[in-house]
């Protein structure tokens, strides 16, 4: 997990947080050992902002990976307190990662909180609900 945290910290400065000044970075490990990162990218029309978690996941899917290929995710910010994924990210994560995928939320001073993906959004809206 330390290498994922290091990768997320490396890309954190690339976050485009012009409006909120709230930088977020994510890194996911894939079953083949590769790591994909993402940062949040804001927009003046706030609803069009994309979060770091979704950026990383969408990049992985663009490269042909799927939920079974994702072994863990790290999320970090410049804050020294726990930050968890927003509701939109939780919904996307519930579909694009397995329920058991570990999600590590790491503060700027290195404190780690780990949960399984399924714990982030109990009763998630799923394909079976359509």
Catalytic residue list: 53
Instruction: Return contacts of 111-114, CB within 8 angstroms, 24+ apart.
Output: 111/80, 111/82, 112/1, 113/82
Q: How far is CA 51 from the centre of its chain?
A: 8
> Two tokens at 105?
């939320």
The 10 Å CB-count burial string (b at 16+, else e) for 51-62 is: bbbbbbbeebee
As a whole number of angstroms, the distance between CA 51 and CA 83 comes to: 13
Contact 27, 8 (CB under 8 A): yes
């Amino acid at each position: 997990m330390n290498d994922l945290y290091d990768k997320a910290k490396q890309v954190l400065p690339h976050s485009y947080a012009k409006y909120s000044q709230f930088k977020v970075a994510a890194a996911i490990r894939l079953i083949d050992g590769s790591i994909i990162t993402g940062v949040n990218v804001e927009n003046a029309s706030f609803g069009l902002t994309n979060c770091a978690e979704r950026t990383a996941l969408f990049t992985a899917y663009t490269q042909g990976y799927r939920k079974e290929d994702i072994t863990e995710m790290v999320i970090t910010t410049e804050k020294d307190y726990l930050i968890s994924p927003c509701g939109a990210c939780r919904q996307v994560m519930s579909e694009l990662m397995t329920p058991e995928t570990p999600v590590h939320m790491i503060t700027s001073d290195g404190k780690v909180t780990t949960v399984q993906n399924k714990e982030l959004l109990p009763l998630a809206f799923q394909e079976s609900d359509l």
